[in-house]
């Protein structure tokens, strides 16, 4: 395993310059990527290494925006169980870090997670000395796991998910999988996720549900969405979290199949998954002859033909204004995006054929009448048209969406209890820096 880690580390060092260049490139659209670069290499100037409270320092890693939002109810539940805890919150994306800043309290620390190299990881753990590592969903890395073992930090993967495709990829590299997954504790979203994680060598894998069901829509955003809907003065169809792969985009697929009558009948709202694509999607829409207004330019009006949601942190408002939504990442083989937030807002959803990232939740939503699945872009528009043509049917789907979201709540409390149980000994100890 040591040889495997050395080879893995060598490959990481080879790609490191390109990773840093990519950060600089992404920083053109999202300036936060160009801040605190040294943290990516394990240097944390000005960041306190000492706890400012008497309680344990718990490290929560939420790689991006979706994981950060899902972590919010878990962090709230942990604070209730451990009132004196200090939060060490890490991310890898700018959207995640921006959203995570809202979860901080006095004494908490927020930094970038270093790249998965032994030196940066070792410096990170020595600097902050967390009592437990709580990783969100899929963020299992070999050097992170190895350095936590060496430091005596228990690693707990919460809201864990592992698709059959990802599991098969790990199985191609059994030595690396043993380093990354061996000894890890996992609270999985579904029994299928738990079985796949256990097969990779986890010390424990149990199914405790999905934290995203515990995410509560912000009432202020819901009200904002209702205001937008009133201003639009006609039905609203939302194309949410749309993505691209290999030069092909879901926006292009949907536009190619868009019926003219539906475009004239409803306000189409496009919200791409990644902020760096806002301009490209605006250009694509304009190039297809659509008059595009952007969220950054103000609210929609009855004259707005196409509205581009180029804002962050307002998804609940977009779902609140919509009569129905398509959830992206599913027309292309990307595994789908989170549909739970839409359902919690009472917005029925259309899903594409690719759902391996959220297979259990997608099927449950379909079975419960909260969602329908489309084989292609033309079927997406057909599903929208059926709901607009039959208001009672759409209203029933909206009620089913809310019921589906409510029926699966409680994972935050269960996972917080599980964290305290499995990291109990570590949480009761004080690190050397605090003694």
Which residue numbers are catalytic? 67
How many angstroms separate the most distant Cα atoms in the chain?
70
How close are the terminal C-alpha atoms of the chain, in Å? 34
* Selection from 250, 415, 396, 240 nearest residue 326 by Cα: 240
CA distance 37 to 54: 30
| CB distance 309 to 295 below 8 Å | yes
* Residue 51 CA neighbour count, 13 Å, CB half: 21
Q: What is the signed CA dihedral for 138, 141, 145, 151, rounded to 10 degrees?
A: -110
Q: What does the DSSP assignment read for 156-177?
A: EEEEE---HHHHHHHHTSHHHH
CA distance 254 to 193: 31
CA distance 375 to 253: 12
* Selection from 145, 193, 159 nearest residue 68 by Cα: 159
| CB distance 36 to 111 below 8 Å | yes
Residues ≥6 apart with Cβ < 8 Å to 387: 323, 324, 348, 393, 394, 397
Burial of 378 (0-12, 13-18, 19+ CB in 10 A): middle
CA distance 376 to 388: 19
Tokens (6 digits) for 242: 């749309």
List phi, psi (to 5°) of 347: -105, 110
* Selection from 165, 219, 211, 208 nearest residue 186 by Cα: 208
């Amino acid at each position: 395993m040591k040889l495997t880690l050395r080879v893995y580390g060598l490959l990481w060092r080879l790609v490191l310059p390109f990773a840093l260049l990519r950060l600089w490139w992404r920083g053109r659209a999202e300036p936060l990527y160009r801040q605190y670069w040294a943290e990516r290499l394990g240097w944390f100037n000005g960041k306190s290494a000492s706890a400012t409270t008497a309680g344990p320092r718990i490290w929560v890693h939420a790689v991006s925006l979706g994981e950060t939002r899902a972590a919010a109810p878990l962090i709230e539940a942990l604070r209730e169980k451990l009132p004196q805890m200090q939060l060490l919150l890490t991310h890898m994306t700018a959207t995640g870090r921006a959203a995570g800043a809202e979860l901080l309290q006095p004494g908490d620390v927020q930094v970038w997670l270093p790249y998965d190299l032994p030196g940066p990881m070792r410096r990170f753990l020595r600097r902050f000395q967390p009592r437990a590592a709580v990783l969100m969903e899929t963020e299992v890395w070999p050097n992170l796991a190895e350095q936590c073992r060496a430091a005596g930090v228990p690693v707990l993967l919460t809201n864990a998910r592992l698709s059959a495709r990802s599991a098969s990829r790990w199985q191609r590299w059994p030595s690396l999988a043993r380093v990354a997954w061996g000894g890890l504790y996992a609270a999985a979203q579904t029994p299928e996720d738990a079985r796949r994680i256990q097969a990779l060598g986890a010390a424990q894998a149990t199914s405790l549900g999905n934290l995203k069901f515990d995410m509560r829509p912000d009432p202020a955003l819901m009200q904002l969405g209702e205001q937008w809907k009133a201003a639009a003065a006609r039905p609203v169809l939302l194309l949410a979290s749309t993505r691209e792969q290999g030069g092909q985009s879901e926006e292009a697929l949907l536009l190619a199949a868009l019926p003219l009558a539906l475009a004239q009948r409803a306000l189409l709202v496009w919200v791409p998954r990644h902020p760096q694509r806002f301009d490209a999607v605006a250009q694509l829409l304009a190039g297809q002859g659509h008059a595009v207004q952007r969220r950054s330019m103000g609210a929609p009006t009855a004259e707005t033909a196409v509205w581009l949601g180029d804002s962050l942190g307002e998804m609940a408002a977009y779902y609140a204004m919509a009569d129905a939504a398509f959830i992206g990442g599913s027309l292309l083989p990307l595994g789908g995006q989170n549909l739970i937030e839409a359902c919690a807002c009472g917005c029925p959803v259309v899903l594409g054929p690719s759902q391996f990232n959220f297979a259990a939740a997608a099927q449950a939503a379909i079975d419960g009448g909260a969602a329908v699945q489309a084989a292609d872009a033309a079927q997406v528009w057909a599903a929208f048209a059926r709901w607009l043509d039959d208001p009672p049917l759409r209203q029933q789907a909206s009620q089913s969406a809310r019921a589906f979201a409510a029926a699966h709540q409680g994972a935050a409390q269960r996972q917080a209890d599980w964290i305290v149980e499995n990291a109990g000994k570590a949480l009761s100890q004080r690190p050397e820096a605090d003694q």
